[in-house]
Structure 1
């Protein structure tokens, strides 16, 4: 969710409701304090979601592709993961040790890199299920760590996609899809048994209807796996798929029952996947959905005692250019002039990605021949590559609530969780309660 994405989403959302667009603000853009975070990994100048998730959830910069481990572990080093000496703790564990309730909400697989950075320790972000592990490996996969791990097993609210990673290939999910795991595990059933053994009253749900009818008086822990893989894009989701804001609402309601407070991590993860596909329309809509979830959270909490921080893992390569008149469709063509080849160009485009189209007879592809209004249109990109890459520039941070002024200025991304811990009086470091 680059700053470019935010600017374009303002226009997208504004135009949706009859405005020119540029003049509006997303819910979190009205927060009183803003900052910029530097997102690079220890071994890479452009971050992936694993090293950046580790930075802003655990407070330590890591190597690209690794989760919850210090930079002493290179990607794919199972022995480095297995030793355990390179594990880093983070906000989820600090909150649990302080007696707070904890939760994760995401629109990606719950085992995907970003949510996994809050509870897992993995030398490779792709080790989501045992099927993904190298042969002979004795390291625990990410789904297993969510159910059996010291931190994962104690998370009270878990909502997202990725049902396949919790079921053996011998089992089928509610939609009839076979599980992805090689072992004989049914980690959904195991999660329920584990939570009961810890004294919780757990409930597994798999669709929007079940989520909305969840009895909060009866249950204090929920596992919601609403899709076999990632949760469908909002623009394509059926009626029985919960929106990010709906998951957010239930999560806050459940976690708020804890008298010691809670830590909740909410991710609009499909902003990222849409950008990778250079599907700008979907990326902007998913960003608008995140803003809606933040708006709902603001209505539910007291910001005199609740800190809300909104930020990104990293940037993407989408640009926003041209000199179009106000009110021009942000997802359409610029309307001032064609390029020097007398061909039109779109206001939004990418530095690289699958939207690249080769020149025809020494001329740039004529975009007027494309159906740019199509939901799955891949916006033009300069360099051909199967999946668009991340960008390396700083990302924005927006904060509101106690100690939110700490988030101003420019700083390393791994500063973020330490500032949150300071404000919330959790973790092993210096806090506002100790000052």
Structure 2
């Protein structure tokens, strides 16, 4: 009997066979329009080096953040309409609207010119100087979701009127006109954004002063127009919360606004969890708690929901060249991603109805130095991977693994650093170029996703293209 001959595959057949095998052993791609719910996570300033450093800080070099485990990945270009390096306003607006706009502009058409706000009668910055006819509102994914009958929410660790959350529900020529931004969220009130229908269903963050009237004794950063926007929201059926306890006790059947700081942002996670807690941090919820509560509130809508979750203070710590607080806030943000995944899977085990996207709006200038030994604490001085001894610069001085390309902490003459100094909570990493504050970086950022409609999130994408993928996932 003649031996059987093995079939010979042509290069074309080999390619087809490999493709079919790959498809057979991968999860099925979910079709457009299958997402009932979308949760969009934005780590403000969470560039690739920050993600890597945070992973090492918490889980070691071989460990994984929750966001690392999401199966779909992409690189995102972040440049704005007028700058190589974007600020948060146009970058988040690009995600939310699909429009490239100028730095400092919030969800407006591309030609809109950023006009700096003025000061009110009490010297507080934030008076809206946007001229009529200076651009047109650009429709946001939150507004489209609302129009489709879904519930919508926007939550953050920054002021609720800060650039990232504002880009979801407001339209204005300059991000710092925060009193006007706040007014856009109040149904039926002067300055309300009518595209929000009966209002954003869930709002959480800090900056209560932008919603309350000026008071010389108790609210010096309040509204000069005398409006109490929280009272107006309560009159429209909102539950109004000021603390974690208020939030946890809030009924699920009502709209909700929680402002957990009397002024400015929520505490850094490192300070919120300190013993004893500092300032208002003692009464503030974690971002993970805010996220799961928002999901409880929004899921009452049978048609689904859109929720934006921002870890905003990552950016602030990086601007201050305080890597430790940036890493701890990144871990808290990742914990919120894990909490959302766990909660979504309780009722949607395969995420057949839920799309989860995790990304950043821009990079920073954080960088890794030297050839550090594996296992060396990421915030410590660099130790050589061969000898384990402290690495030295050309002048014989030790240096940290993490540094910044620019910022205020550039010594005229470097001296050696020790572990006790650099591992302290308030240590500020050294910088290459001396500037008053560290700037954003212009590099690409990561996007990770999973669930319904996630198959399109791949390759290198402009940030404006993400809007189309979100819209497609909702079938809009």
Q: Does 1:255 align with 2:298?
A: yes
For these two proteins, the number of residue pairs brought into alignment is 394
Deviation at 1:182, TM superposition (A): 1.4
Partner residue in 2 for 1:199: none
SS at match of 1:169: coil
Between the aligned partners of 1:67 and 1:338, the Cα distance in structure 2 is: 46
Matched, 1:290 2:333: yes
Aligned to 1:342: 396
Match of 1:212 in 2: 248
Match of 1:236 in 2: 271
> Using the alignment, how far apart are the partners of 2:310 and 2:130 within structure 1?
28
> Following TM superposition, by how much is the alpha carbon of 1:185 offset from its aligned partner in structure 2, in angstroms?
0.9
In 2, Cα distance between equivalents of 1:388 and 1:418: 32
1:272 corresponding residue in structure 2: 315
Cα shift at 1:81? 5.6
CA contact (8 A) 1:11 1:330 kept: yes
In structure 2, the residue matched to 1:154 is: 199
Q: How does 1:33-48 map to 2 (within 5 A)?
A: 33-48=72-87
Query: Moved runs in structure 1, 4+ residues, more than 6 A?
Result: 77-80
Say if 2:449 is the partner of 1:396: no
2:134/2:173 contact within 8 Å kept: no
Q: Per-residue CA shift, 1:58-99, capped at 9, x if unaligned? A: 111100110111121111087866337521001110000000
Partner of residue 430, structure 2? 380
CA 81–151 in structure 1, closer or farther in 2 if over 3 Å, else same: farther
2:412 paired residue among 343, 347, 358: 358
**Equivalent residue runs for 1:158-173 within 5 Å:** 158-170=203-215
Measured in 2, the distance between the counterparts of 1:339 and 1:312 equals 33
Q: Higher Cα Rg: structure 1 or 2?
A: 2
- Shift of the 380–91 alpha-carbon distance from structure 1 to 2, 3 Å rule, reads same
Secondary structure of 2:178's counterpart equals coil
CA gap of 1:234–1:378, structure 2 versus 1, over 3 A, is same
Counterpart in 1 of 2:370?
322
Q: Quick check: 2:106–2:163 contact (8 Å CA) kept in 1?
A: yes
Aligned to 2:168: 118
**Could you list the per-position Cα deviations for residues 363-412 of structure 1 after superposition, in whole angstroms to 9, with x for gaps in the alignment?**
x2333398222212111111111211000011100010112120100011
- Cα drift, residue 177 of structure 1: 4.3
Residue 406 of structure 1: aligned partner: 456
Q: 1:47 to 1:214 in 2, by over 3 A?
A: same
User: TM-score normalised to the size of structure 2?
Assistant: 0.80
Distance 1:87 1:214 in 2: 33
Q: Please name the residue that 1:128 is paired with.
A: 178
Question: What is the DSSP-based 3-state SS (H/G/I as helix, E as strand, rest coil) of the residue aligned with 1:118?
Answer: helix
User: Retained in 1: the 8 A contact 2:381–2:418?
Assistant: no
Counterpart CA distance in 1 for 2:213 and 2:466 is 37
Shift of 1:151: 4.1
Structure 2 segments unaligned to the other structure (5+ residues): 1-45, 117-127, 187-191, 273-280, 385-390
Give the equivalent residue in structure 1 for 2:355. Answer: 307
Q: Mapping of 1:26-175 within 5 angstroms?
A: 26-76=65-115, 82-83=132-133, 86-129=136-179, 141-147=180-186, 148-151=192-195, 154-170=199-215
* CA offset digits 1:278-317 (Å, max 9, x no partner): 1100000111011100000001112111000000010000
Inter-CA distance 79–162: structure 2 relative to 1 (3 Å threshold): closer
The answer (yes or no) to whether the contact 2:112–2:134 under 8 Å persists in 1 is: no
Do the aligned residues in 2 keep the contact of 1:92 with 1:151 (CA within 8 Å)? no
Contact 1:81-1:122 at 8 Å conserved across structures = no
* Cα distance per residue 1:228-281 (max 9 Å; x no partner): 210000111133110000000100011011000000000000000010001100
Structure 1 gap ranges (5+): 15-20, 130-140, 197-201, 427-435
Q: Is the contact between residue 60 and residue 70 of structure 1 (CA under 8 Å) also seen in structure 2? A: yes
